[in-house]
Structure formats: structure tokens, C-alpha cells
Amino acid sequence: MLERQIKTKNYNIQLFEISKSVLYAGFVLEQDKYLHQFNVFDNKHRIITIKQSQNSFWVCNNNQYRMLEANCAIYLPPYSIVPWVLAKGLSQIDSFGLKEEINNFTCHFPFVFSLDNFKIPKSAKDFNNILSKSQRSFYIGYNFDPSVLAMKTKNWINENFRKSCSLTDFSEQNSVPRETMSRAFKQSYGLSPKDYRKLLRMDASMSELIFEKNNVTHAAFNSGYENLGNYYRQFKLAYNTTPKKFDLNSLTPNKYESTI
């Protein structure tokens, strides 16, 4: 594990290379302590966990713990467009005075401390907003709770199932791996996010057919289906008939009966 100390008049910065795709840093700052734990994921796999115990931070990598001499901690993916420093209240890069020292380090990570692209978020929310715009697949979860992620996913689907946006859009917007999202959702509700969206679209199309008296084409497109072929397949899978031939009185659903 690569380690380098950078000391300035006001800051003591620890830098560690976890892998070729992740770098994390600990900063000694006199700021409010609100970070209790976060997990860092590179695509599908959790790489490190950083926990706060009283006034100390501990990092776990490959089941090995070590203490960070810092009161806040973040991670920086090398080769990213925007590096992040969690330094609330700072407004000028000159406050760091790091340019000379960092030049010796950035030969390994050329864009990590690019001063032209330096951004300083002022809160955890700002930090997450910047992170969510990353072009790499990274996820940071503060006190990660699968049930909270599942509920957030469910609410997003409820609001967007009629639109053409995909579940991948949700995972990218929230910097959550799609596999993690699906696993948390299924654990909480017993079906996948994709099947839940199918359920909502099918119910919406039935409402269009029965109560709005719309034709099949309008019922399908108003409910979020992008083509009639897919709608017919899903309808027949659910009800053993086609939208044009179904008999409401004898309709017996086969799948997607919701319990949530």
C-alpha cells in the first residue's frame, strides 16, 4: 500500500493508494465531525470501509485495520476529472500551499490534484453531489442501510415508471451499483426493482383500458411501455390473454401480484 505524508503549516494530509483505481486521504482539520462510517465501492466490490470510533478514524482493507491520524476522511479516485477535498469553509486553493510537494506525487496519479479542476465541497451533501457526477462507477454510503436504499428506489420507481428512464439512471444518479440496489430492494420487498416497475406499468395500463376507456396503443404508451410488442408480451405473461381479448370478469393474474 503506497503511503505518503504531506505536511503544510495548517494541514497534515495522509495519502494511501488502495488499488490502481482508488486513493483515499485523511485530513486533519478543525471541523465538525459528522462522518461515522462510509464504504467505498469500485463497480461491484467494496474496497474499503472507514469507521469513526470516538475521535479516531479506522480504515479496513482486506480485513486489516489501521488508524488514520485525521478527524475526517474521504477517498479520491485517481484519473478522475474532479478531485475532492472535504474542507468546509475553505475558498482558495492557495490556502493549501501544496503545489510543489504534490508534483512529486502526481507522477503516479496525474489528475488527482489538478489545481485547475480543484473543487472544495462545503458539506457532506455537496461532496455526494460531486461524487454522483463522477464518470467512474464509485459509490459512497454513509451508515449504509439496505432498507433505506430500497425505500428510496421504490419511491423513485413510483415517480418515474411511466417515463423512458431506466433503473440504471437511478443507480448512476445515486452512485449506487445496480446490483447493490437490486439486492437491497429484493431483500426488503421480495421482488426485483424491474419486476416492481412491470407491476406498476401493468396496473396503470389496466386502469387506462378499464376506467379511461383508452385503446390499447394509448394504454401502453401512457403507462411507460416503449413498444406494443413488449406490452403484449407482458400482458399475456400476466393474464394469459392479449389486451384486446381480455374479459374483465374472468381475469386472473398469473404474476406480479404486489404485496408492497
Q: Say yes or no: 112 and 18 in one domain.
A: yes
What's the pTM value of the predicted model, to 2 decimals?
Answer: 0.46
Q: Say yes or no: 74 and 180 in one domain.
A: no
Domain tally, the chain: 2
Q: Say yes or no: 79 and 196 in one domain.
A: no
Of 142, 177, 208, which residue constitutes the final position of a domain?
142
Q: Say yes or no: 153 and 119 in one domain.
A: no
The CA distance from 42 to 47, in Å, is: 7
Q: Name residue 51's beta-bridge partners.
A: 37, 58
The CA distance from 78 to 82, in Å, is: 9
**CB atoms < 10 A from the CB of 238, how many?**
21
Cell matching residue 110:
496525474
Residue 68, pLDDT score:
56
Q: Say yes or no: 16 and 130 in one domain.
A: yes
Q: Does residue 51 sit in helix, strand or coil?
A: strand
- Tell me: the pLDDT tens digits for 107-148? 222 223 332 333 333 344 444 454 444 433 333 333 346 787
- Tell me: the pLDDT tens digits for 155-204? 999 999 998 888 888 877 765 667 778 888 998 999 999 999 999 999 99
Residue 158, pLDDT score:
92
Is 218 a residue whose pLDDT tops 70? Answer: yes
**CB atoms < 10 A from the CB of 149, how many?**
20
Residue 140, pLDDT score:
36
- Tell me: the pLDDT tens digits for 5-63? 444 444 444 545 444 444 444 443 333 344 445 455 443 445 555 555 555 656 565 56
Sequence-distant (6+) residues with CB within 8 A of 229 are none
Cα distances (Å, whole numbers) of residue 164 to 4, 156, 243, 251, 253: 47, 13, 21, 28, 25
Residue 62, pLDDT score:
59
Residue 161, pLDDT score:
92
CB 137 within 8 A of CB 77: no
